[in-house]
Amino acid sequence: MFNVILVMLVLGCVLGAILYIASVAFHVEVDEREEKVAEMLPGYNCGSCGYPGCSGLAKALISGETDTVNCRPCKPDQRAAIVEYINTTPGPNGEKLTVKSI
Protein backbone atom coordinates (compact mmCIF):
# COMPACT_ATOMS: atom_id res chain seq x y z
CA MET A 1 0.00 0.00 0.00
CA PHE A 2 2.82 2.38 0.90
CA ASN A 3 4.60 1.58 -2.39
CA VAL A 4 1.52 2.53 -4.42
CA ILE A 5 1.22 5.88 -2.62
CA LEU A 6 4.94 6.55 -3.11
CA VAL A 7 4.77 5.71 -6.83
CA MET A 8 1.75 7.98 -7.33
CA LEU A 9 3.48 10.80 -5.43
CA VAL A 10 6.64 10.52 -7.54
CA LEU A 11 4.62 10.25 -10.74
CA GLY A 12 2.63 13.38 -9.81
CA CYS A 13 5.82 15.32 -9.09
CA VAL A 14 7.46 14.24 -12.36
CA LEU A 15 4.40 15.11 -14.45
CA GLY A 16 4.01 18.42 -12.62
CA ALA A 17 7.64 19.28 -13.37
CA ILE A 18 7.12 18.41 -17.05
CA LEU A 19 4.04 20.66 -17.20
CA TYR A 20 5.96 23.52 -15.58
CA ILE A 21 8.87 23.21 -18.02
CA ALA A 22 6.45 23.08 -20.96
CA SER A 23 4.62 26.19 -19.73
CA VAL A 24 7.88 28.12 -19.50
CA ALA A 25 9.25 26.83 -22.82
CA PHE A 26 6.08 27.43 -24.83
CA HIS A 27 4.99 30.70 -23.23
CA VAL A 28 3.39 33.09 -25.73
CA GLU A 29 3.48 36.82 -25.03
CA VAL A 30 0.02 38.32 -25.52
CA ASP A 31 -0.31 41.83 -26.92
CA GLU A 32 -2.67 43.65 -24.55
CA ARG A 33 -3.43 46.22 -27.24
CA GLU A 34 -5.47 43.64 -29.15
CA GLU A 35 -7.75 43.03 -26.16
CA LYS A 36 -8.10 46.75 -25.47
CA VAL A 37 -9.04 47.54 -29.09
CA ALA A 38 -11.57 44.69 -29.11
CA GLU A 39 -13.14 46.19 -25.96
CA MET A 40 -13.30 49.62 -27.63
CA LEU A 41 -15.16 48.24 -30.66
CA PRO A 42 -18.97 47.97 -30.39
CA GLY A 43 -19.00 44.19 -30.06
CA TYR A 44 -21.71 43.46 -32.64
CA ASN A 45 -19.52 40.88 -34.43
CA CYS A 46 -21.39 41.72 -37.64
CA GLY A 47 -18.49 41.18 -40.04
CA SER A 48 -19.25 44.33 -42.05
CA CYS A 49 -15.58 45.28 -41.81
CA GLY A 50 -14.58 42.12 -43.67
CA TYR A 51 -13.14 40.35 -40.63
CA PRO A 52 -14.74 37.62 -38.51
CA GLY A 53 -16.07 39.75 -35.67
CA CYS A 54 -14.64 42.57 -33.61
CA SER A 55 -11.75 40.48 -32.29
CA GLY A 56 -10.75 39.71 -35.89
CA LEU A 57 -10.65 43.41 -36.76
CA ALA A 58 -8.69 44.16 -33.57
CA LYS A 59 -6.16 41.45 -34.44
CA ALA A 60 -5.82 42.80 -38.00
CA LEU A 61 -5.27 46.36 -36.74
CA ILE A 62 -2.62 45.35 -34.20
CA SER A 63 -0.82 42.96 -36.55
CA GLY A 64 -0.63 45.67 -39.24
CA GLU A 65 -2.74 43.68 -41.72
CA THR A 66 -4.99 46.71 -42.13
CA ASP A 67 -4.37 50.36 -41.32
CA THR A 68 -7.99 51.53 -41.33
CA VAL A 69 -10.66 51.25 -38.66
CA ASN A 70 -13.44 50.36 -41.08
CA CYS A 71 -16.10 49.33 -38.56
CA ARG A 72 -19.41 50.60 -39.89
CA PRO A 73 -21.44 50.39 -36.63
CA CYS A 74 -18.67 52.19 -34.73
CA LYS A 75 -19.38 55.86 -34.00
CA PRO A 76 -16.88 58.47 -35.21
CA ASP A 77 -15.75 59.33 -31.68
CA GLN A 78 -15.14 55.63 -30.97
CA ARG A 79 -13.10 55.34 -34.17
CA ALA A 80 -11.07 58.40 -33.18
CA ALA A 81 -10.41 56.92 -29.72
CA ILE A 82 -9.26 53.63 -31.27
CA VAL A 83 -6.98 55.42 -33.75
CA GLU A 84 -5.50 57.56 -30.98
CA TYR A 85 -4.94 54.53 -28.74
CA ILE A 86 -3.22 52.49 -31.45
CA ASN A 87 -1.08 55.39 -32.69
CA THR A 88 0.11 56.36 -29.20
CA THR A 89 0.54 52.99 -27.50
CA PRO A 90 3.71 51.06 -28.36
CA GLY A 91 3.66 47.28 -28.59
CA PRO A 92 5.53 44.83 -26.38
CA ASN A 93 8.66 45.18 -28.56
CA GLY A 94 8.38 48.96 -28.71
CA GLU A 95 7.02 49.10 -32.25
CA LYS A 96 4.48 51.77 -33.09
CA LEU A 97 1.65 51.49 -35.59
CA THR A 98 -0.04 54.16 -37.69
CA VAL A 99 -3.76 53.67 -38.19
CA LYS A 100 -6.37 55.97 -39.70
CA SER A 101 -10.15 56.17 -39.56
CA ILE A 102 -12.46 56.10 -42.56
Helix, strand, or coil (residue 39): helix
- What CATH fold (topology level) applies to the domain 32-101? 3-methyladenine DNA Glycosylase II; Chain A, domain 3 (1.10.15)
**For the chain, which residues make up each domain, given as ranges?**
32-101
Mean pLDDT across the chain: 90
* Length of the chain (residues): 102
pLDDT at 22 over 80: yes
Question: Is the pTM above the cut of 0.85?
Answer: no
pLDDT in tens, 30-77: 789 999 999 999 999 898 888 999 999 999 999 889 888 888 999 999
Give the per-residue pLDDT at 102.
66
Nearest alpha carbon to residue 89 among 40, 41, 38, 33: 33
How far is residue 66 from each of residues 31, 61, 63, 71, measured CA to CA in Å? Answer: 17, 5, 8, 12
Residues sharing a CB contact under 8 Å with residue 21, sequence separation 6 or more, in sequence order: none
Give the per-residue pLDDT at 29.
82
Give the per-residue pLDDT at 90.
87
